[in-house]
Amino acid sequence: MKIEKEIMNRVNVHLASHYGMCFGVRDALAATRSTYDENDVTVLGQLVHNPLVSQELTENGIKQGDLNNSITDIAGTVIITAHGASESDLSRWASTHRKVVDTTCPLVHKVHESLVSLIDSGFFPVVIGKKGHAEVNGLVGDFPQAIVIEEDEDIFDVPYEGKIGIVSQTTQPIERVDELVEKIRSTRNACEVRFIDTICSPTKNRQKAVKDLSEFCDLIVVVGGSNSNNTSQLVSTVEGLGCRVVQVEKPEDLILDWFIGAKDVGVTAGTSTLNETVISVSERIKAISEELAVKDREYLGKERILC
């Protein structure tokens, strides 16, 4: 009976207390969906870093452009993504021949306002975030003197005197940002360093929720686009806690062997992931659990015959 009890354990699926699409992404998607009946609509970049959303937009005739494209090539309606854009880019795209729909997340707007406030107060601008990311590009687009810090070595580019003002990309993990801010403070003793915490609450909530799951789960499944920064940050957080983690974009990416021996599996998702995708992944994990249970019963039957 002991063998039967051990073999017949099934996978318990636990959804994070906070997961998936945040209000900023949801509102950006809703605004874009409202243009489906229009002709000649172009999103300037990737609306959100999610392949399923990108597929939906394409199927509904939405074209993808680039903020850096020549404006003479694009007419009709253009959509600024949830990641935001610099004031110079917004002004460049504004035209009487073109409708601009700005879906920038309000919390990204807050970062822009905080950075401008620091610069207006005489602080040298520093942005902690992922170099080349659309949100970061939008933040520093009007301020070529700004330094972007992604790794420790980037701190060498920060001035050693004067006033230093720091903001963060909204989707950075707070522990990493605090660590970098402290390193700037400790190595720039002659500077006045001011940090404004601009990490968004959805990111903080999802980071905390995945940490809670990691305390008792054998495996964490993170659902989100492969190029989604906040999704990759969730993966990194779980790895840092020593818990096993896999990242998928859709249910079909799940592999049965991942769940062999796992009793408790946690599921979370980045802020650009559709809730229905998360539910589909959870349901597929439950189906995999049933498949494993069938195999266990077959194995148990063979054990009894051999005995």
Q: Which phi-psi region, left, alpha or beta, contains residue 154 (left: φ > 0; alpha: ψ -120 to 50)? A: alpha
In degrees, to the nearest 5, what angle opens at C-alpha 183 toward C-alphas 170 and 118?
Answer: 50
Identify the H or E element spanning 14.
strand 12-15
- Residue 135 annotated in active site: yes
Torsion of CA 263, 264, 269, 275, to 10 degrees: 90
3-class state of residue 296 by DSSP: helix
Please state at what angle helix 106-120 crosses helix 23-33, rounded to 10 degrees. Answer: 110
User: Is residue 234 a contact partner of residue 212, using CB atoms and an 8 Å limit?
Assistant: no
Query: Which residue among the candidates 4, 87, 135, 303 is catalytic per the annotation?
Result: 135
Q: Which two tokens stand for residue 295?
A: 């195999």
Please state at what angle helix 229-240 crosses helix 201-214, rounded to 10 degrees. Answer: 30
> Residue 16: which of 169, 216, 232, 177 has the closest Cα?
216
Q: Could you give the residue numbers annotated as active site?
A: 135
